[in-house]
Structure 1
């Protein structure tokens, strides 16, 4: 415990110089004892100096009073120094605690990754055992023919399993590399805080040593005290304790956000490290060929393939973000609104038609294979009397198609196996103004006005309303299928840029303008900011597709 301050009388007795003070201190010029101190000139003088050179307006103080006051100043700073030292030293165990907690949190995520992939690798190997057993049972019927078939199938089986194992091991290694990178960021930051905290402690210890030294001689005390006092005030004003504490709290919060997310999108398994806000960095930009007239991004077909339509020619192109190659896949006359993969073989597309009649919408929903050959059309009820009809589609976590007609209140859930409508969701008082997106929870996000989005349950209950005045007329929303995070792109009039906000499914804006890019001079329709299953964010400025990757920062 800190000791109590002595009473005034005892403190004065302790700090007051004895009568006559240090008799060895004398005036260099006159040899007389130092008795006075000139306040105006900040100099210690003898009686002769005072008589000759320091008459009025100079103000003279008794040297013993000056020495006493300087010691009082140091004495009064001592409790604050001790308290600050005590506070800084309390951070040492806290730093170690945060470092240990962060390490344990990362270890938990790493263990989860390892356990998950261990199970999946076991399932793949069990699959191999089952396949081999089936092959052996079939081989008994025709020895020669079955053996030939068996050898071929074993080879194919091994090739498939090796491919799947390689894929899983690659993803596991990538995820563990991501956690290692995050751990290194945390370690570097906590090491910096340790150094900063220790530097502050060392500085205060040096100040204490200096005070002890200059207190031993009156002359040194008088001459060096102002600079030492100023140094004390400067170091105490830095408030290192609060700064380090705030940094530690921020590290704790950011590390606790880190999580391992996984799921299936379009029949393919994906897993990644996510959960943090981070910083989105541009990985590369992909030029959209000039043959795509008035381009607009409609959706992703696979992890590497983006669907881009040409508004003028009403044609559809497939851009591979790995090879950066763009290929026309649907000829003129078909205007696609949206698309999504159902599985590794089938894509569903919503379309626009201007010749709709009757009570059914035919040709507004089409299934394609991965070579963009038409499999078949799916029909839904036609609402309203307009001949010009737009239908928006997506695929939910169960592989069901969700579809809705523009300016109508119904969303249809369709089984792609038999094209039957298994559920009709009606939102009272609101209509579809654009894209609809399925969340992994089963809820649906749909655009209900130019700058408004609504999250509803499968029963049609409104769960949250998402709105921001800055999003304006041309906002677009896309959902990260693994995290249910919403990414809303819009034209920022003030900055004259295309910007993207990150929003939770509950409607909370988590981060503003996570990416920004300048709209090109090339005419184009506003495009959504897609999120691929592996976590890449793809934006379009009208001339290029910009690919961003999120990185963990502190």
Structure 2
């Protein structure tokens, strides 16, 4: 053991000071200055210790060389420590920048959202004023006779306008709540990174303080330097600043995806916060009544109404995913079943059909318009061009009906008001093999093979081929607000999955939803996308409702 060398009172033991050597450091046993370092026993020793105890095979180094060497090792690490401190300070700057830019971006989204709803509230208010003015003008002509009627109409008008205002305010509140949830998630992550980065900075400062302390005494330096060096190596090997920087880049990328999207679907105004990939969570399961022997999802006719056909007897049902109530709306016949359906507006639904009982030169009874009580309004006919007795329909952004016959290359654009064909789209080298989907851009996505979808323009030009060998038999549905495609396919056995794909054919996310089919017989059905952005799939026994949440 080494201790402080005797004080200056012991004149006979006064020692000569050597460069790089603290002469107050002496041997506890012999009282002589420390002169060597035994590598075998890893301890400092005096000359007598070396002579009596630490002879060969012990290997001795001059204590001054050991001190100079270890001090040098510590000094070599100082630039790396300074560099790491600078990197961590840059990371902190980036944390502050990303936090600021995220807040500014979300504030911009909120401002746009609030401005839009402010305009809508203003328009609704103007609508109320105009309606009341018209009512008053009519009442003035025969005020005594229609005064009571006028007051009733004003009251009804106020009630209707109040409902519209309430709906708009509720939508705004819901969307602002969505952006706040996203903002809270970002803030939580930013705070975690800030705490971690501050901890790393504090660790570096503690290491610097320790180095300063042990450099003050040779004994402390020799005894503690190896542990300090090991701590430095351990902390520098973590590359913490790189991990934090990468995480910040991911946060910024996800935040910039967040958008306020709006548009009309089925004649109804729809809006939501979307754009990010997120995580899909099952939020509701709606049991399909046992009376539906073989469920077959045919389409979405409103934000909360799903058409489900019994593939065994072709009865048509409508399930409300909010009330979870299922009602039969059409009695089936053996010669006809529905292939597709879509809302034209809040009052009218269009359905495409398969029929084996038609006769004549045209496809009569393959397109039918129904009101919301499922009473037939009228049939629409299109020319017969060969192909199979199946017709698929959808509704485009302008409220026009798109209709295509299986096995043909022609898609008809039909005015639902008079049933007349206003435009014809002809694909080049492709045939319709399943559903057609209208995009908000005006383009059309057509199922042209069992695992292939082709995006075409209104002139028939091919815009993109959407294909994946892993899909096998698949079904495609389009998000009408974002033009994002969702492909449902069987993964293996009873497992199904849904992939998210851009309209350009780029797979953005695999397996965003996965589910198992039940033992109940059913027909493979697509993943429906509601106007508010939720997903609905069918496992045979239930309709499963999934909602997307923002994650980092």
Q: Please indicate the TM-score interval, normalised by the length of the shorter structure.
A: over 0.9
- Corresponding residue for 2:75? 75
Alpha-carbon distance between aligned partners in 1 of 2:60 and 2:216, rounded to the nearest angstrom: 24
Q: Show the counterpart of 2:505.
A: 507
Q: Contact (CA 8 Å) 1:298, 1:308: kept in 2 or not? A: yes
Aligned to 1:365: 367
User: Which of 341, 344, 347 is matched with 1:345 structurally?
Assistant: 347
Cα deviations by residue, 1:52-88 (Å, 9 ceiling, x for unpaired): 4433333221111111111011010000000111111
Match of 2:269 in 1: 269
Once residues 386 and 196 of structure 2 are traced to their aligned partners in structure 1, the CA distance between those partners, rounded to angstroms, is 68
Q: For residues 56 and 535 of structure 1, what CA distance do their matches in structure 2 show?
A: 81
Mapped pair 1:487 → 2:489: no
2:399 paired with 1:376:
no
- Backbone CA RMSD of aligned residues: 1.4
| 1:337 positional shift | 1.0
Separation in 2 of the partners of 1:116 and 1:19?
79
Please say if 1:322 is aligned against 2:322. Answer: yes
The aligned counterpart of 2:6 is none
CA distance in 1, matches of 2:139, 2:80: 88
After TM superposition, what 4+ stretches of structure 1 lie above 4 angstroms from structure 2? none
Please list, as runs of the form range in 1=range in 2, the aligned pairs for 1:390-401 lying within 5 A after superposition. 390-401=390-401
**What is the number of equivalent residue pairs in this alignment?**
534
Residue by residue, what CA displacement relative to the aligned partner does 1:338-382 show, whole Å, maximum 9, x if unpaired? 111001111111111122333211111111111111111111112
* Alignment-derived partner of residue 338 in structure 2: 336
Give me the whole-angstrom Cα distance separating, in 2, the residues matched to 1:453 and 1:246. Answer: 36
Q: Residue 466 of structure 1: SS of its match in structure 2?
A: strand
Write out aligned runs for 1:28-43 (5 A): 28-43=28-43
Match of 2:531 among 530, 533, 542: 533
1:23 corresponds in structure 2 to 23
Distance, in Å, in 2 between the alignment partners of 1:214 and 1:406 is 84
Residue 28 of structure 1 deviates from its aligned partner by 2.7
Distance 1:243 1:382, change over 3 A: same
- Paired residues for 1:210-225 under 5 Å: 210-225=210-225
Partner of 2:549: 551
Q: Is the 8 A contact 2:387 2:405 kept in 1?
A: no
CA distance in structure 2 between the partners assigned to 1:364 and 1:97 by the alignment? 59
In the alignment, what sits opposite 1:60? 60
Do the aligned partners of residues 385 and 340 (structure 1) sit closer, same or farther apart at CA in structure 2, a change above 3 Å counting? closer
- Determine the C-alpha separation between the residues in 2 that align with 1:432 and 1:260: 34
Alpha-carbon shift at residue 122 of structure 1 (Å):
0.8
Q: Secondary structure at the match of 1:140?
A: helix
User: Residue 434 of structure 1 aligns to a residue in which SS?
Assistant: coil
- What TM-score, normalized by structure 2, do the two folds share? 0.94
Q: Hey, what does 1:14 align to over in structure 2? A: none
Q: Distance in 1 between matches of 2:408 and 2:130?
A: 49
Equivalent pair of 1:26/1:33 in contact (CA under 8 Å): yes
Give the stretch that moved more between structures: 207-216 or 86-95. 86-95
Quote the residue 2:496 is aligned against: 498
Which sits farther off after the overlay, 52-61 or 145-154?
52-61
Q: Distance in 2 between matches of 1:94 and 1:440?
A: 38
Kindly indicate whether the alpha-carbon contact (under 8 Å) linking 1:497 and 1:519 is maintained by their aligned counterparts in 2: yes
Q: CA deviation at 1:141?
A: 2.5
Structure 2 residue matching 1:195: 3-state secondary structure: helix
Range with greater deviation from structure 2 (176-185 or 352-361): 352-361
Aligned to 1:403: 403
SS at match of 2:272: strand
User: Which deviates more, 502-511 or 292-301?
Assistant: 292-301
**What is the CA deviation profile of residues 307-328 of structure 1, one whole-angstrom value per residue up to 9, with x for unaligned ones?**
1111111111111101111111
2:46 maps to 46
Alignment of 1:186-197 (within 5 A): 186-197=186-197
| Residue segments in structure 1 that go unaligned for 5+ positions in a row | 1-16
1:537·1:548 contact (CA, 8 Å) conserved in 2?
A: yes
DSSP 3-state at the match of 1:186: helix
Q: Please list the CA deviations of residues 423-474 of structure 1 after superposition, one character each: whole Å capped at 9, or x if unmatched.
A: 111101111111100001110001010110010000000001101111012x
| Rounded Cα–Cα distance in structure 1 between residues aligned with 2:311 and 2:385 | 25
Distance (Å, rounded) in 2 between the aligned partners of 1:243 and 1:496:
39
Does the 8 Å contact 1:409/1:428 carry over to 2? yes
Contact 1:359 1:383 in 2 (8 A): no
Match in the other structure for 1:259: 259
Aligned: 1:150 with 2:141: no
Q: Deviations over 1:483-532 (max 9, x none)?
A: 11101111112x85210111111111111111111121222111110110
Tell me the equivalent position of 1:102: 102
TM-score, scaled relative to structure 1: 0.94
> 1:444 and 2:457 equivalent?
no
What SS is found at the alignment partner of 1:522? coil
Structure 2 equivalent of residue 471 of structure 1: 471
Mapped to 2, the partners of 1:153 and 1:552 lie a distance apart of 45
Relative distance call for 1:385 and 1:89 in structure 2 (3 A) is: closer
